[in-house]
Amino acid sequence: MIRLTPAPKRGLHGQLTVPGDKSISHRALMFGAIAQGVTEIENFLDSDDVLHTMGVFRALGVQIEQNGTRVRIQGQGLDHFQAPKAPLDMGNSGTSTRLLMGLLSQQPFDMTIFGDGSLSQRPMQRVLAPLAQMGAQITLTDGDKLPGVIHANHTLTGITYEMPVASAQVKSALILAGMQATGQTKIIEKLPSRDHTERMLRQFGGDIQSENGVITVSRQPALVGQHVVVPADISSAAFFMVAALMTPNSELTLKNVGINPTRDGVLRLLRRMGADLQLSNIDDTNEPTADITVRTQPLHGIHITAADIPSAVDEIPILALAATQAQGDTVISGAAELRVKETDRIATLVRELTKLGADIEALPDGMIIHGGTPLHGSTDSTLLETHGDHRIGMMNAVAALIAHQEVVMTGEDAMSVSYPGFLADLMQVMR
């Protein structure tokens, strides 16, 4: 249990480099493990989710050394994994599970995979169905859930697959299987999802086409180990952007944030709400980055629709908090995917913010937030909870900055899934 005090009158100030990007850290481990030679990762995210991906590769016999945010992988290609001695633990991580189901779907041995209580509720059939069409032999509990078994398999064949949901995890699983398959794999996306897998495959010397929503990949020649510099995670930075916008007298600069256009929806949505975000030191590398300066500003309500969701899917909880302080209503639709994250994030965010006095109506695929409601503190009967969901925990902690009394929250350990030092960094900008 932690006690969270409102922000000081002088606001939030300073420069902050939030930890490395979670999506990119997972992928850097995966490509490093399957490439030939050494891969070095800089600014690696040392968080629970990513450490589960690392644990899987160690269990498969890959040599990985970690020194804080520096990681060195001795890659040996896809054909040299050893059969694991125990079931593979995916922890709380949907990204580990779904991407590894694709990556490991053509190995000569069986692997049992399992996760925690939250992960064991999340839908996996979305990956299993197209992988099975390619020839993967995967069995899941009730055909959809962990635990499951990735069975030994010797053949994968390319398919053409129209994605029913916008999901970078499904797309990436198919790319990672398609890289090993006979023939071409074509993935058709209705809405673009984050393209870190495509960018990293190219960086490692692979070949993948992406044009007008069609991604085409075939069997790859040997990939070559790389030096990967992971940008600061925009999904983590978003909590501080909203904190600075809402907390009076604030000015924060977030350094080196990843601004890949398939991930930076939160910047567009905050700008539509009236925020003036200043980008400087733009570095247009494989994964572009910028410093982002944010000052306190009044916001107004907007309509967020299906097309806005994929590039900001993990930022909806913190955007919803911003909307409680904006002038007018914010309507979010086309966001049913939020219901199958670490928690049903529509339900949990409505539940938590309502405890503080926010006025939000849940919809099947989104919510209506009536803005301009002051937030009060928590009492014994309105104790805040993370529900085991890191992003709900961080949203609550940012809400506490503008609450009129102290807020008490339980389950704060969940934040280590993506941002172990979140509360310490929040304290730092309050000093």
396 makes contact with ligand S3P (CB under 6 A): no
CA 428 distance to own-chain centroid = 24
Q: Given the complex with ligand S3P, which of 246 and 415 has the nearer CB atom?
A: 415
Question: How buried is residue 191: exposed, middle or buried, by Cβ count under 10 Å (0-12/13-18/19+)?
Answer: middle
Taking the C-alpha atoms of residue 205 and residue 220, their distance in angstroms, rounded to an integer, is 9
Residue 343 sits in the site that holds ligand S3P (CB under 6 A) = no
Sign of CA dihedral 393, 41, 197, 89: negative
Selected binder of ligand S3P within 59, 73, 101, 168 (CB under 6 A): 168
Show contacts with ligand S3P in window 51-90 (CB under 6 A). Answer: none
Strands 407-410 and 2-4: antiparallel
Nearer to ligand S3P, 29 or 402 (CB): 29
CA atoms within 13 A on the CB side of 166: 21
Question: Is 122 assigned a ligand-binding role in the annotation?
Answer: yes
What are φ and ψ of residue 163, in 5° steps?
-75, 125
Give the side-chain half-sphere CA count within 13 A for 248: 7
Decide if residue 175 touches ligand S3P (CB under 6 A).
no
Minimum CB distance to ligand S3P, residue 286 (Å): 16
Question: What six digits make up the tokens of 11?
Answer: 């606001």
Cα angle value 97/102/106 (rounded, 5°): 125
For residue 167, the partner it binds in ligand PEP, ligand S3P, none, with Cβ less than 5 to 8 A by kind, is ligand S3P
Amino acid sitting at position 264: D
Q: Is 424 helix (H, G, I), strand (E, B) or coil?
A: helix
Q: Which of residues 87-116 bind ligand S3P (CB under 6 A)?
A: 95
Q: Helices marked H in 316-414 — which ranges? A: 316-325, 345-355, 390-402
Residue of 9, 15, 22, 14 lying closest to 394 (CA atoms): 22
Q: Which is nearer to ligand S3P, 201 or 400 (CB)?
A: 201
Which residues fall within 8 angstroms of residue 3, CB to CB, at 6 or more apart?
A: 406, 407, 408
Residues 275-314 within binding reach of ligand PEP (CB under 6 A): 314
Query: From the CB of 281, what's the least distance to ligand PEP, in Å?
Result: 26
The only residue of 92, 153, 172, 260 in contact with ligand S3P, by rule CB under 6 A: 172
Which residue in the shown chain puts its C-beta closest to ligand PEP?
94
Q: Which of ligand S3P, ligand PEP, none does residue 418 bind (CB under 5 to 8 Å by kind)?
A: ligand PEP
CA distances from 190 to 161, 187, 221, 307 (A): 11, 10, 29, 9
Q: In this chain, which of 314, 352, 389, 412 binds ligand S3P, going by CB under 6 A?
A: 314
Site stretch for ligand S3P (CB under 6 A), options 29-37, 165-173, 201-209, 210-218: 165-173
- Is beta strand 329-332 parallel, antiparallel or unpaired with respect to 366-370? antiparallel
Beta bridge partners of residue 304, listed in sequence order: 332
Tell which phi-psi region holds residue 78, choosing left (phi > 0), alpha (psi between -120 and 50) or beta. alpha
Which one among 167, 325, 348, 386 touches ligand S3P, defined by CB under 6 A?
Answer: 167
The answer to whether 25 is a known ligand-binding residue is no
Which of 95/253 has CB closer to ligand PEP?
Answer: 95
Q: Which of 314, 329, 344, 413 is catalytic?
A: 314
Region 42-101 residues binding ligand PEP, contact defined as CB under 6 A:
49, 93-95
106 binds ligand PEP (CB under 6 A): no
Q: Is 247 in the site for ligand PEP (CB under 6 A)?
A: no
Residue 291 labeled ligand binder? no
Longest dimension (CA), the chain: 63
The residue from 342, 352, 385, 425 that contacts ligand PEP (CB under 6 A) is 342
Residue placing its CB nearer to ligand S3P in the complex, 116 or 314: 314
72 is in an annotated binding site: no
Give which of ligand PEP, ligand S3P, none residue 105 binds (C-beta under 5 to 8 Å, depending on kind): none
**Cβ within 8 Å of residue 380, ≥6 positions away:** none
Contact 218, 184 (CB under 8 A): yes
**Active site annotation includes 314:** yes
Which of ligand PEP, ligand S3P, none lies near 93, with the C-beta cut-off 5 to 8 A by kind?
A: ligand PEP
User: Of 172 and 236, which CB lies nearer to ligand S3P in the complex structure?
Assistant: 172
**Minimum CB–partner distance for residue 208 and ligand PEP (Å):** 22
Q: Which is nearer to ligand PEP, 94 or 411 (CB)?
A: 94
Sequence ranges of the binding site for 3-phosphoshikimate: 22-23, 27, 167, 169, 314, 341
Instruction: Please give the positions annotated as active site.
Output: 314
Residues in contact with ligand S3P by the rule CB under 6 A: 23, 95, 167-169, 172, 194, 313-314, 337
